[in-house]
Structure 1
Amino acid sequence: MSSATPTESAAEPTPDPARYVYAITSSDHPLRLDGLRTVGGGAGSFGTVVHGGLAAVVSPAPPQLRPKRRDLVAHQELQERLMADGAVLPMRFGMLAPDDAAVRTALEQKGEEYTRRLTELQGTTEFNLKAARAQEDLLREVLDESNEARRLNERTRDGNGTYEERVALGEVVARQVDARQRLLADQVVEQLSGLARAKVEAAPAQDDFLNVSFLVERARAHEFTEAGRRLARDYGEAYDFRLRGPLPPYSFAA
């Protein structure tokens, strides 16, 4: 091979494209991906990166990745298709790798961990439960059952009482609300934990007192759903229970 002359430029190798990573499966997974859209648009451009007994499902990374609804749906539909045929470690939306080599390196370095996780998640699905309680109902309970809160409320009613008493009332109510919501969360989780292999609790947002994910055997998915519905009925209209599932086991893949 001759070197390039000053008037010529040597051809540079084309770099591998960046990859969007959807999930990790066993290398013998059926991977029925026909008819699915990739994140970023297009069809039929899925690929796999294989190392040993593991395979990562990938596609070309979109140039500008944004959590658009169509892309979130595409990501979720692929996870559900994979789950229908076997265990899967679903990546959360937005997982990128610089190229196939980086994906292969991850499979090599974390192969034992990924294989163990796939074994643990075989035949399972995830359910997520969020719950809130009407603030009026909770405050009424606090005033009914806390002598201190009731006394301070009576002294500060209709704008009466001192500034210090109004501050003290706010602090007492806040403590009582927090304690009661934590107790409620523990009670709800305990009632459902017997139907699950594992659970992961996350910080609740806004008015919720609970945000928990359960790892449930698929064979018990209907039983778990019915238990969630009974729970909502038993607690009554002052409570808002939102149960989502079956879902890919995102909370248990890491």
Structure 2
Amino acid sequence: MSVYVYSIVATTHPQGLEGLDGVGKPPSTLRTVRTEDLSAVVSDAPEELRPKRRDLAAHQAVQERLMADGTVLPLQFGFTTADDDAVREVLEERVEEFTERLEALEGCAEYHLKAAQEEEAMLRQILRESDEARALNEEIRSGTGSPDLPLALGELVSKEVQARQDRLAGQVLDALRGFAREESGSPPAGNDFLSVSFLVERDNEKSFLAAEQDLAKELGEDFDLRLLGPLPAYSFV
């Protein structure tokens, strides 16, 4: 049977997993695969593994329990390998890499921020501040302009939106990155103009959270900043 891998920790980590179940139905039993320097928390992998709520919760519960007692390299949901020997081989081959990453994550947690601006508010802002966009819009509304004007206005607005979102993303990053040890961006989805994770030292958490709140007030009600954390440092493994 294949093995499901949850996390990698130092062998000296307490690894208190009592009362927790692994993924699968019925739930699998958690165990550790150890080498001299590192340990991996694993269980038998179910034959069919899908991101169901119970299994996602089981995976997350392992990370949170381990985080409470020390530094963790959390693996993304669904990572499996052949057997315990394969896990042990990887721990031995990559011991320096994993140890360095554990040291980099020590005393830190991940915070993930997504940011968006209300679409209507941005469009009003563009029409208010762009003479060209405002002139095109007025000509279209007059009903006397060329049939090509709506397309021209759409292209102009699209460029303006992208430029403004890029500037806003830079503004947000500049306001917060000074409170983080590392940052890791991902492509924003939907109306978001920013999706980024920050690796924040525990000693800096209050300052980071205060800076995020100050930024939200500065940007105003037209903006939606959604901050999640503290989280296992998935983005920095």
Scaled to the shorter chain, the TM-score interval is: over 0.9
Query: Aligned-pair distance for 1:218?
Result: 1.2
TM-score, with normalisation over the residues of structure 2?
Answer: 0.95
Query: Aligned-pair distance for 1:66?
Result: 0.9
Q: Distance in 2 between matches of 1:109 and 1:163?
A: 66
Contact kept? 1:35, 1:43, Cα under 8 Å:
no
Query: Aligned-pair distance for 1:53?
Result: 0.2
Query: Aligned-pair distance for 1:29?
Result: 0.9
Per the alignment, residue 90 of structure 1 pairs with: 74
Percent identical among aligned pairs is 52
Per the alignment, residue 161 of structure 1 pairs with: 145
Per the alignment, residue 163 of structure 2 pairs with: 179
Query: Aligned-pair distance for 1:78?
Result: 0.9
Q: Distance in 1 between matches of 2:121 and 2:100?
A: 46
Query: Aligned-pair distance for 1:109?
Result: 2.2
**Which letter maps to 2:118?**
A
Per the alignment, residue 217 of structure 2 pairs with: 233
Residues 108/251 of structure 1: CA separation in 2 closer, same or farther (3 Å cut):
same
Per the alignment, residue 52 of structure 2 pairs with: 68
Q: Distance in 2 between matches of 1:223 and 1:60?
A: 42
Query: Aligned-pair distance for 1:173?
Result: 0.2
Query: Aligned-pair distance for 1:153?
Result: 1.0
Query: Aligned-pair distance for 1:44?
Result: 7.3
Contact kept? 2:188, 2:194, Cα under 8 Å:
yes
Q: Write out the 4+ residue segments of structure 1 that deviate beyond 3 Å after TM superposition.
A: 41-44
Paired residue for 1:131, among 97, 107, 115? 115
Structure 1: runs of 5 or more not aligned: 1-16
Structure 2: runs of 5 or more not aligned: none
Q: Report the number of matched residues.
A: 237
Per the alignment, residue 194 of structure 2 pairs with: 210
Q: Secondary structure at the match of 2:29?
A: coil
Q: Secondary structure at the match of 1:157?
A: helix
TM-score, with normalisation over the residues of structure 1?
Answer: 0.89
**Which range moved further: 92-101 or 183-192?**
92-101
CA RMSD of aligned residues (A): 1.4
Q: Distance in 1 between matches of 2:75 and 2:227?
A: 21
Residues 41/222 of structure 1: CA separation in 2 closer, same or farther (3 Å cut):
farther
Query: Aligned-pair distance for 1:226?
Result: 2.3
Q: Distance in 1 between matches of 2:143 and 2:63?
A: 56
Structure 2 residue 96 is matched with structure 1 residue 112: yes
Paired residue for 1:201, among 185, 189, 193? 185
